[in-house]
Amino acid sequence: MKSVNQTQKVPALYQSAAWKNAFIKLLPQHMIKNPVMAVVWLGTLITLFSTVFGQTQLFFGMTVTFILFITVLFANYAEAVAEAKGRGQAASLRQARQNLTARRLKTLQDKEGEQIAATVLALNDLIEIRAGELIPADGEIVHGFATINEAAVTGESAPVLREAGTDRSGVIGGTKVLTDRIIVQVTAETGHSFLDRMIALVEGSNRQKTPNEIALGILLTVMTLTFVLVVATLPVIAGSLGITLDPIVLVALLVCLIPTTIGGLLPAIGIAGMNRALKANLIAKSGKAVEVAGDVDVLLLDKTGTITYGDRQATAFYPLTGVTPSELRQAAVLTSFADPTPEGKSVVSLAKELGEHVHQPEQAEFIAFNAASRISGINLETGQQIRKGAIDAILKFTSQSLENNPELKTRVEQVASKGATPLVVSLNQNILGVIELSDVVKPSIKEKFARLREMGIRTVMITGDNPLTAAAIAAEAGVDDYIAEAKPEDKLACIRREQQNGHLVAMVGDGTNDAPALAQADIGLAMNSGTQAAKEAGNMVDLDSDPTKLLAVVEIGKQQLITRGALTTFSLANDISKYFAILPALFVLAIPQMQVLNVMQLASPESAILSALIFNAIIISLLIPLALRGVKFTPSTSTQLLRRNMLIYGVGGVILPFVAIKGIDLIVSLIMGV
C-alpha cells in the first residue's frame, strides 16, 4: 500500500523549512505556548545578560548561554520537523485540486450544462463528469456509475467503482473518472471540501491537543513553576549562610530541574501521531481521535466486507444425476464469460482450480448478466443455450418448477441451509446442477482478531444473517461475540449499551444508516468509499476503504500513548543525574561536605554544569527521531507494557545520563584544562 506521504524521510526542502520555523518559534507568541521551554528561553536571555554585564567568566557564561540556546532550538526543531512532514503531505494533496472546472447541470435531464470554475460551485449543485475528467467537488453520485482513480488522494493506482444509490456513492474532488458518465450532487462548498479539511489537518493548523496531552502539559507547567519558586528562594537561603550564588549557575540548576526533555518533545509527539495515521492512509479529524483509539476495548464490525470478502465467491459445484462434474464446470465457465460480477469471476477461478481449461468461443452470442434478468449465458453455434442464474430465473427459462425436480430442490435447500446462495446452471431445457456461492471469510482475519485479543480488545460481529449462519462465520473468523439478524438501529443500541458498561467502543461503517452509530462510537472509522453522511459522522476516515484498517488505528493510538509515556518516564528519570551534577557544583565551595554528592567525580563545578547542560541539549536532539517515529508497539497487556516501559525508559533513563555526563565531563575538563 502506498500512502499520500510517499517517502519516509523529510525532503531536504522541508528540512530547511523546519530549521527556519525553529528560529521563528523563538518569538514570544510562539514560546509562550510551551511553558517549559519558555522558561529555558528566558533563562538563556538571563545568562546572556549576566555574562555581558555581570562578573561571570566570559567563556563559561557564553558557553552556558549557547548550550541553553541550542536546547531551545532543538525543542523547536522537533515540533517544526513534525509540522514540515505534514506540510509535505499537504503539498501533494493540493496538486489534486488545482485549476478544476465543472459542467453544471440545471436538472438531471440537462444534456449540455454550463462550463464554470469549480470554485463557484454551491451546495446541492448538479455536475456532470465524463470519462477522462477530474471530479471538481465532493459529492454523492445521484445518477450512473463509474470507475474512478483516487490515486491523488489515496496513493493507490487501482481504480475503484462508485455507483448511485449504494453505500459507495461518495466521490472526492480532484479524483479522476476513468469510465462512463456520472451526475454528482455537490455536498461541500469551496473551502470546506474533504481535501481542504485534510490539508488543514495534516498541516497541523487545526490540531487539537488530546486530553492526556493537556493533562501532561498542566503537570509539566506546575512542576516548572514549583522549581522556579525553589530556585528563586535559594539566593535568600544561601545569603543567610554567607554564600553568593551566580545567576548563571542558578539558571543551569533550574534548567536541569525542570522536565525539559519531555517539554521539548511533547508537541512533536502529538503532531507525529497524526502524521503516522496519514502514512497509513487514515485521516484523523483530531489528535484526540488518534489517542482515544489506543484505549478502545470493544470493536464492532460488520460481517460483509469486513470479516468476509463481501462479494460472494463460488465454493462448490453440485451436478445433478446424469451430469458429470466436468460437464457442470465447463457449462458454468461458458456462462461466466459475459458475467463481469465478482461472483461470475469466482466461478471461472474455482473451475480452473479444479482442473478445467475452457477457451472462450470465437463464434458465439454472449448473454451479459444484468440485475433485471439475473441471468448470464451463451448461445453456441450448435444451437445450444447455456444459462446461469438465480433459481427462479432459471426455472422460468427452462419452463420447470422446483416441485417437479426433487433432486434440485434438495441441493438448493442444502446450499441455503449453510447460509450460502445457490446458482443454477442449465443447458437448453435441462438443469445441470447448482453452484454454491459463499460469503468467504478473509484468510488473515482470524490472526488479526487474535492480535486484538492480545491487546485486551473484545470483537463483536454484527450481521443481518440468521443465527445459524452468523454463529458459523463467527466461529471461523474467531470473533469474541456476534449479533445476528441485526438492523441498523441495533448497532446504535449495542454501542450505547457497551458505553454504559464503561467500555470505549470503535465502529466501522460506510453507509448513511451507519452514521448514527459512527457518531455515537468513541472511534468512528468511516470508509472513504462510503456516503458523505458516514464520513461526516465518523472522527476518522480510511482512504483505502479497508474495514480491517481499524487494527492499524488501534495500534497507532496505543503507539501514541506508549511514546508519550516512555519519553515522559525517561525525561523524569534522567533528571536524577543532573541533580548530582549541579547541586555539588552549586554549594561545594562554601559547603565542602556537599562533595559527597559528586558521585560521578566530575572534574570541577564549571565542567559539571557544562556537562549536565550539554547532555540536556543533546538528549533532546537524539530523541527527536524516536518522538517522530514512535516507540515500537507489540501487543501485550497493560502490566507488561508498564514493566517494559519502566525497565527500558525508567531504569535506562537513570543509568544512561550518569555514564553520558561523566563522558562529557572528561572531554569538557580536557578542553578547559582542569
Lowest mean pLDDT across 34-38, 329-333, 508-512: 508-512
pLDDT of 88: 61
Residue 308 has pLDDT above 70, yes or no: yes
Neighbours of 562 (CB within 10 A): 20
CA–CA distance from 592 to each of 221, 239, 467, 533, 603 (Å)? 34, 17, 81, 73, 15
Q: What is the DSSP letter of 343?
A: H
pLDDT at 10: 42
Residue 313 is inside which H or E element, if any?
A: strand 313-319
Nearest to 627 by CA among 554, 571, 551: 571
Question: Does 22 belong to an annotated binding site?
Answer: no
Does the pTM surpass 0.85? The reply is no
For the cut 90, the answer to whether the pLDDT of residue 664 exceeds it is: yes
Contact by Cβ (8 Å): 576, 259: no
Q: What string of H, E and C letters represents the secondary structure of 453-481?
A: HHCCCEEEEECCCCHHHHHHHHHHHCCCE
Q: Which residue has the cell 458516514?
A: 534
Q: Is 375 marked within a binding site?
A: yes
User: How many Å apart are CA 536 and CA 547, to the nearest integer?
Assistant: 17
**What band does 4 get if pLDDT is binned at 50, 70 and 90?**
very low
Q: DSSP labels for 80-144?
A: HHHHHHHHHHHHHHHGGGTT-EEEEESSTT-SS-EEEEGGG--TT-EEEEETTPBP-S-EEEEE-
Distances in Å between the Cα of 104 and the Cα atoms of 169, 334, 361 are 19, 44, 45
> Of 258-267, 480-489, 635-644, where does the model show the most confidence?
258-267
Residue 18 vs residues 79, 82, 131, 188, 567: alpha-carbon distances, Å: 8, 8, 41, 33, 22
Q: Catalytic residue numbers?
A: 302
Q: Cα angle at 421 between 417 and 427, to 5 degrees?
A: 115
What the block records as the C-alpha cell of 329 is 464446470
Q: What is the pLDDT of residue 639?
A: 76
Q: Which residues pair with 427 in a beta bridge?
A: 386, 430
Contact between 163 and 141 under an 8 Å Cβ cutoff? The reply is yes
Strand partners, 385: 379
Residue 3, marked binder: no
Phi, psi of 634, deg, nearest 5: -130, 135
Task: Sheet with 126-130: list strands edge to edge.
Answer: 114-117, 101-105, 126-130, 181-186, 139-143, 170-171
Tell me the average pLDDT across 332-339: 85
The mean pLDDT of 95-112, rounded to a whole number, is: 78
Q: What average pLDDT is seen over the chain? A: 82
Q: Is 388 annotated as a binding residue?
A: yes
Residue 172: band (very low, low, confident or very high) from pLDDT cuts 50, 70, 90: confident
* pLDDT value at 204 more than 60: no
The phi, psi pair for 185, rounded to 5°, reads -100, 125
The answer to the question of whether 370 is labelled as a binding residue is yes
Known binder of ligand: residue 20?
no
pLDDT digits (tens, 9 = 90+) for 524-567: 888 876 777 777 788 888 877 776 777 788 888 888 888 888 99
How far apart CA 608 and CA 68 sit, in angstroms, is 15
The contacts found for 158-166 with CB under 8 angstroms, 24 or more apart, are: 160/529, 160/545, 162/529, 164/140
CA torsion sign for 171, 173, 179, 184 is positive
Q: Residue 14 — very low, low, confident or very high, per pLDDT cuts 50/70/90?
A: low
The answer to whether 399 is a known ligand-binding residue is: no
- Tens digit of each residue's pLDDT (9 = 90 or more) over 604-632: 888 888 999 999 999 998 998 888 888 88
Match 503516522 to its residue by C-alpha cell: 276
Is residue 314 within a helix (H) or strand (E), and if so which, with residue range? strand 313-319
Task: Please tell me the distance from the alpha carbon of residue 433 to that of residue 388, in angstroms, as a whole number.
Answer: 10
510 marked ligand binding residue: yes
pLDDT of the residue at 613: 92
* Helices H / strands E in the chain, number of each: 23, 22
Strands (E), 463-528: 481-483, 505-509, 523-527
Given a cut of 80, whether residue 6 has pLDDT beyond it is no
8 Å CB contact between 187 and 121: no
Write the Ramachandran bin of 374: left for phi over 0, alpha for psi from -120 to 50, otherwise beta.
Answer: left
* Residue 369 annotated as part of some ligand binding site: yes
Has 481 been labeled as part of a binding site?
no
Q: Is the dihedral of CA 652, 655, 657, 661 positive or negative?
A: negative
The long-range contacts involving 597-601, CB below 8 angstroms and separated by at least 24 positions, are 599/658, 600/658, 600/661, 600/662, 600/665, 601/662
**pLDDT at residue 313, as a whole number:** 82
The pLDDT of 570-588, averaged and rounded, is 83
